[in-house]
Amino acid sequence: MFILTEIEDVVAIPPRDFGKPLKKVALERLREGYEGKILNELGYVVMIVDVEVDPIGILLPRDGSTYHRAKAKLLCFYPRIQEVGEGEVVEITEFGAFIRVGPLDALLHISQIMDDYITYDERHSILTGKKTGRKLEVGDDVRFRVVAVSLTHGTTGKVGVTTRQPYLGKIEWIREGLEKEAPRPKKAEAVAGGK
């Protein structure tokens, strides 16, 4: 989901920043232009990790800024379809739950939570399975699979996830399932020989 990538760009240094450390100013300018934004090929740019700036810039007529080539390392978030991850439930609604997935909140639609009829308790913000009695509430940790990604250029994006597959769902439910599947040790048979 997270990738570290490198880009090349040209950074404008305005006259008011002349005399300041070039790397620091370039980093500020790149952060303004990239951080918190979604780029089609990179995904959601979480932060600029580092930058290298060419100390020799270019001047353009009728422009007081200098323009410098820069290479920047970006930490980006780009969830891939079928990828498995874990996150915390941050909101419950009548149509599902929102799970914190990196810097975004993914929708776990009510139809994708479990194979059970689910009721919504608005007062307590809880989703409950009718047959199983399993509850999903804010603060629960969930393992999910990404089923839909729509990251559009700008600052908005949508991620859809499911927990309706084996070994997915609330971490507590997964542990319960694994304990049921674990082979039980056989009882020791009585030793023959007069005891």
Number of C-beta neighbours around residue 170 at 10 A: 20
DSSP 8-state code for residue 167: T
Burial class (CB in 10 A: 0-12, 13-18, 19+), 139: exposed
The structural domains of the chain, with segments of one domain joined by +, span 2-77, 84-181
pLDDT band at 53 (very low <50, low <70, confident <90, very high): very high
What pLDDT does residue 187 have? 63
What pLDDT does residue 193 have? 52
pLDDT at residue 26 is higher than 80: yes
Q: Where are the alpha helices (DSSP H) in 35-136?
A: none
39 conformational bin, left if phi > 0, alpha if psi -120 to 50, beta if neither: beta
What pLDDT does residue 194 have? 52
DSSP 8-state code for residue 22: H
- Residue 72 in 3-state DSSP? strand
- Of 86, 88, 111, the closest CA to residue 1 belongs to 86
Q: Which residues pair with 97 in a beta bridge?
A: 92, 108
**Mean pLDDT confidence for 28-49:** 89
What pLDDT does residue 43 have? 87
For the domain bounded by 2-77, which CATH number is listed? 3.30.1490.120
The class that CATH gives domain 84-181 is mainly beta
